[in-house]
Chains A and B, each alone.
Chain A
Amino acid sequence: MKIQVTLNGKKQEWDVTPNEYLADTLRAHGCPSVKISCGDGACGTCTVLLNGKPMVSCEVLSVRADGAEIVTVEGLEEEADKIVDCLTRLGGEGCGWCAPGFVVLAYALKRELHNPTYDEVKAYLNGNLCRCTGYIVRIEAVLEYLQMP
């Protein structure tokens, strides 16, 4: 099936099957930042923005993205730099595997929550697992990112 999407601001046409998931399709269309870890909706490494909302792309059938706007880390350059800067300064970086999904989620958080508390940030980030860094520095990094213009 042919579908039209806007990926990181650019219109594209994709040919997809009804059994294909968005995470795979995105990787096949120039977005290697989209990582597939659990492939099961549980870890958040495949998080992208779908029509402005953070979504686990391994759970979304690609055909359902027809007409959608999709944003991955490749489309978030400036904001991604800010988030990664906060992470590295506070010691919140590790192997980097979970980082693209985390960056997209942190960006979504900034757009969705206004003046969130520590606990609200913690709850929002819950769907992104990290094997390396521990979670406290990541929460602190996001709190710093929220202070940035």
Chain B
Amino acid sequence: MQIREYVKPDTLEEAYALLMKGKANRILGGCTFLKRTNLKIGTAIDLAACGLDYIREMDTEVAVGAYTSLRTVETSEVILREFGPALRESMEHLIGVQLRNAITIGAHAASRFGFSDIIPTLLAMNAKLRFYRGGVKTLRDYMEEERLEKDILVEILLPKEGRRTVVQMARLSYSDYSVFCLAMSRAGGNWIVSAGAFPGRAKLAERTMAVMNGGPVAREEAATLAENIAAEYRFGSNYRGSAEYRRELCRVFARRGIEELAQ
């Protein structure tokens, strides 16, 4: 990236006005992705002074400010207590503490990265996103949007639904990008199944979820349901793995996830 002008506004109002002022204006997260792009940025808008670095526990949800680092999220006791270790597990392979201190969770989620393990996990946690202009929407809807409006992600909302979430990933070496990621959760009779890095933007296995949410799921059905989940994704091949390998990973991860959560 090449920056013409750097600005650090004190309020979101100011940041949004700057963002809308020019086509080439951009919000900065930790810049770890932007740095790798060829973007010519007009005004680079640093959110550091806008107060978006927080994890706040409320009665029905936990709000994570968009400028919160991955490291803060993975070490949060509130998140661990309320939602278990899945979100931490989805990010702890990302290189090292020193990089995760730089990356912001809002930038990661807003970017809808097709290689992410974090986004499928947030999907399984039934996360919502609050945008400055667009208000609150589910991450699920955001992932499906065809054209994204210019906006600022303010916070990620994690509903306290008593959901148990598990995430399974396969990678060729400890810190590499995933070959495939499957996240699954259950709150009572409600299941969410999402996959990412297949490779492609994370999405839910909607048809099989409808079946699973239509009645009780027995452990014995795990293999059949896992087969149906794998049939919902169009897997691709790249140097990390073939489509067939990813399909097999999906079948195995989905079966294991259902067996674990159906108990």
**What is A's interface to B at a CB cutoff of 8 Å?**
1, 18-19, 40-42, 44, 47, 50, 53-56, 59-61, 63-64, 66, 105, 108, 123-128
Contacts and interface: CB of A to CB of B under 8 A. Distances in A.
Most A-side CB within 10 Å, residue of B4, B36, B99: B99
Interface of B: 2-6, 8, 28, 30-32, 35-36, 44, 46, 48, 71, 92, 95-99, 101-102, 174-175
A34 B168 CA distance: 37
Contacts of A50: 101
A61 B102 contact: no
Given A55-B101, A56-B99, A124-B97, A41 B32 contact: yes
B4 A18 contact: yes
A50 B92 CA distance: 21
23 contacts: A1-B6, A18-B3, A40-B36, A41-B32, A41-B99, A41-B102, A42-B175, A47-B98, A50-B101, A54-B101, A55-B98, A55-B102, A56-B96, A56-B98, A60-B31, A124-B97, A126-B95, A126-B174, A126-B175, A127-B98, A127-B99, A127-B175, A128-B98
Given A18-B44, A64-B46, A44 B6 contact: no
A53 B31 contact: no
A56 B101 CA distance: 9
A127 B32 CA distance: 15
B96 A44 contact: yes
Given A105-B98, A128-B96, A59 B30 contact: yes
Contacts of A44: 96, 98
B35 A64 contact: no
A54 B98 contact: yes
A125 B96 CA distance: 7
B34 to A, nearest CB: 10
B97 A54 contact: yes
A19 B2 CA distance: 6
Contacts of A64: 46, 48
A108 to B, nearest CB: 8
A145 B4 CA distance: 45
Contact of B92 (A47, A56, A123): A123
Contacts of A105: 96-98
Contact of B101 (A53, A63, A123): A53
Contacts of B31: 59-61
A78 to B, nearest CB: 22
Contacts of A41: 32, 35, 95, 99, 102
Nearest to A128: B96
Contacts of B36: 40
Contacts of A66: 8
Nearest to B95: A127
